[in-house]
Amino acid sequence: MPQIAVVGAGPAGCLAAKQLAAAGRDVTVIEEHQTAGRPAHCAGIVTAETIRMAGFRPDILGTVCAADVVFPDGRRISVERRNPIAYVIDRPALDCRLADQAAEYGAQFLYDERYISSVITPREVRVQTVRGILTADLLIGADGQCSRVAASLRDNAAREYLYGMQVDVLKEPADPYRMVLRLGRELAPGFFSWELPLGDRVRVGLCVTPQYGPPAPYLKKLLTQTGLNSSRVVARYVGKIPMGGRRITHGERTLLIGDAAGQVKPVSGGGLYPIFTAAPLLCRTIDRAYEMSDFSTTVLSLYDRAWKQALGKEFDRGWQLRKLFRRLDDRGLNRAGAMMDTPEIREILDTVDLDRPSDLAKPVLAQKGIKSKLLRLVVSARL
Ligand SMILES: Cc1cc2nc3c(=O)[nH]c(=O)nc-3n(C[C@H](O)[C@H](O)[C@H](O)COP(=O)(O)OP(=O)(O)OC[C@H]3O[C@@H](n4cnc5c(N)ncnc54)[C@H](O)[C@@H]3O)c2cc1C
């Protein structure tokens, strides 16, 4: 009997398995696909800090030193840096590398095995998979955006889901270090689109909120508008992002991590930095539970407290910003763009840390007259 059953061999499951196995725990990972990291859905944008936390250099496909934010009226606000703002990594390769490292520490991977349900008893958790039953002390739900483990904790849906789609097209980027983010209901209603430089390719994608329909027609429009529609598509990805967090991230003998826990940055939809932050906190809580031989919600709530202390401020502020952003139609976005387009605010935007984008809110709001203008904008926003 393994001590810990982990559902999902994405980055959250593989990283948790690696850290737990490295600490001497007996870990089994249950993954419904035949390998880790597939099917891919992520754009792969991470900061240098996330790479540092990974502890190894992932395969880097692109380096971003400049970012343009394009408003619906064509206004472009650019951030330029000497040092990279972000990197685009090979996400499937990252997941596989983490899985290999976990296996090297002794974690066992059951591929092609789907988690169905679990039953918690006073002595163990019984995990039902398509092939049989596995018993463990603890269950970790790292099964992504549609997590069944999270659903087993009841009334636990994410507050909002975004639908994403992207393609890699064979074309040299106009600027090999620049990413372009576009806002507006025409191209990416409810979120934004991205255009990332990947050497001899460009990765183009977007997310939309479901009320505006599926993302495919928007992507088609985006490819036409950016002149990339005649380039050969060499990869296609689809995926969902849970936004706004989940209410519950632990239960009796159960812990959640990654998308399963709703640990996604509300401004950018990025989930990798939160995973690298949460995994050591999850392992520390599990150590404590073993020390006390107690896998109850009382002890496991330490994890909840710890990850919310580390990430909660950014998540809460980011969610407030997201709610404001969603209220703005194209006219509102254009007016917000015009407000931001001053030398003083551009200077503030230049300092953006993609892991903590909401840190910009305070200095921006401290600019003379901005708070009242934004307030008027939000109040007058058409829904
Ligand atoms: C379009 C898009 C672009 C994104 N871009 C970025 C980005 O640039 N940067 C960033 O940081 N984040 C990005 N994200 C978010 C990021 O991809 C996720 O936060 C991250 O993948 C979450 O990892 P995870 O391990 O929690 O879940 P996942 O990566 O979804 O892994 C979950 C695993 O669980 C398995 N699984 C699910 N159900 C079961 C079951 N019942 N039984 C067995 N196995 C199961 C799945 O097969 C999968 O392997 C993006 C997401 C999308 C959709």
253 pocket-lining for ligand 1 (C-beta < 6 Å): no
Structural fold of domain 45-89+160-242: D-Amino Acid Oxidase; Chain A, domain 2 (3.30.9)
Beta carbon of 243 within 6 Å of any ligand 1 atom: no
Query: Are 114 and 248 a contacting pair, CB within 8 Å?
Result: no
pLDDT of residue 375: 82
Residue 155's pLDDT is 82
pLDDT in tens, 207-263: 999 999 999 999 999 999 999 999 999 999 999 999 999 999 999 999 999 999 999
**pLDDT (average), residues 343-362:** 91
For residue range 167-185, list pLDDT tens digits in order: 999 999 999 999 999 999 9
Pairing of strands 193-198, 201-208: antiparallel
Domains in the chain: boundaries: 4-37+91-158+244-314, 45-89+160-242, 321-379
Tell me how many degrees the CA angle 309-313-317 measures, rounded to the nearest 5.
Answer: 160
Atom of ligand 1 nearest to the CA of 11: 25
Residue 261 alpha carbon, nearest atom of ligand 1: 26
Mean pLDDT (whole number) for 189-207:
97
Residue 201 pLDDT > 80: yes
Question: Which residue, chain included where needed, has tokens 């490295």?
Answer: 22
Question: Mean pLDDT of all residues in the chain?
Answer: 95
Q: In angstroms, what is the span from residue 109 Cα to ligand 1's centroid?
A: 17
CATH class of the domain comprising 4-37+91-158+244-314: alpha beta
Ligand 1 site-directed mutation target among 15, 42, 149, 195, most atoms within 8 Å of CB:
42
- For range 279-290, the mean pLDDT: 98
Q: Give residue 10 CA to ligand 1 midpoint distance, Å.
A: 6
Q: Is 41 in the pocket of ligand 1 (CB under 6 A)?
A: yes
The answer, yes or no, to whether any atom of ligand 1 lies below 6 A from the CB of 7, is yes
pLDDT at 156: 86
pLDDT at 1 over 70: no
Burial class (CB in 10 A: 0-12, 13-18, 19+), 93: middle
pLDDT at 285 over 80: yes
For residues 28 and 2, the answer to whether their CB atoms sit within 8 Å is yes
For residue 382, what pLDDT is reported? 58
* Residues contacting 204, CB < 8 A, separation 6+: 166, 167, 168, 169, 193, 194, 195, 196, 219, 222, 223, 226, 228
Separation CA 91–CA 58 (nearest Å):
8
* Ligand 1 pocket mutation pick from 114, 259, 264, 355 by most atoms within 8 angstroms of CB: 259
Nearest CA-CA partner of 45 in 207, 196, 221, 248: 196
Q: What whole-number distance in Å separates Cα of residue 120 and Cα of residue 149?
A: 12
Expressed in angstroms and rounded, the spacing between residue 145 Cα and the centre of ligand 1 is 7
Among candidate residues 374, 328, 87, the one with its CA nearest the CA of residue 188: 328
Confidence of residue 152 (pLDDT cuts 50, 70, 90): very high
Which atom of ligand 1 has the smallest separation from the CA of 33?
47
Q: Is 141 left (phi over 0), alpha (psi -120 to 50) or beta?
A: beta
Q: How close is the Cα of 240 to the center of ligand 1, in Å?
A: 8
Mutation probe of ligand 1 site: the residue of 15, 33, 41, 282 with most atoms within 8 A of C-beta: 41
Three-class DSSP labels, 327-344: HCCHHHHHHHHHHHCCHH
Whether this prediction's pTM lies above 0.85 is answered by: yes
Interatomic CA distance for residues 278 and 271, integer angstroms: 11
- How does pLDDT run across 35-69, given as a tens digit for each residue? 999 899 999 999 999 999 999 999 999 999 999 99
List beta partners, residue 340: none
Mutate to test the pocket of ligand 1, among 98, 109, 117, 143 (most ligand atoms within 8 A of CB): 143
Q: Is residue 383 predicted with pLDDT exceeding 60?
A: no
In this prediction, residue 380 carries a pLDDT of 79
For ligand 1, whether the C-beta of 264 sits within 6 Å is yes
Ligand 1 centroid distance, CA of 41 (Å): 7
- More confidently predicted of 379 and 314: 314
Mapped onto helix, strand or coil, the DSSP state of residue 367 is coil
Q: Distance between CA atoms of 92 and 39, rounded to whole angstroms?
A: 8
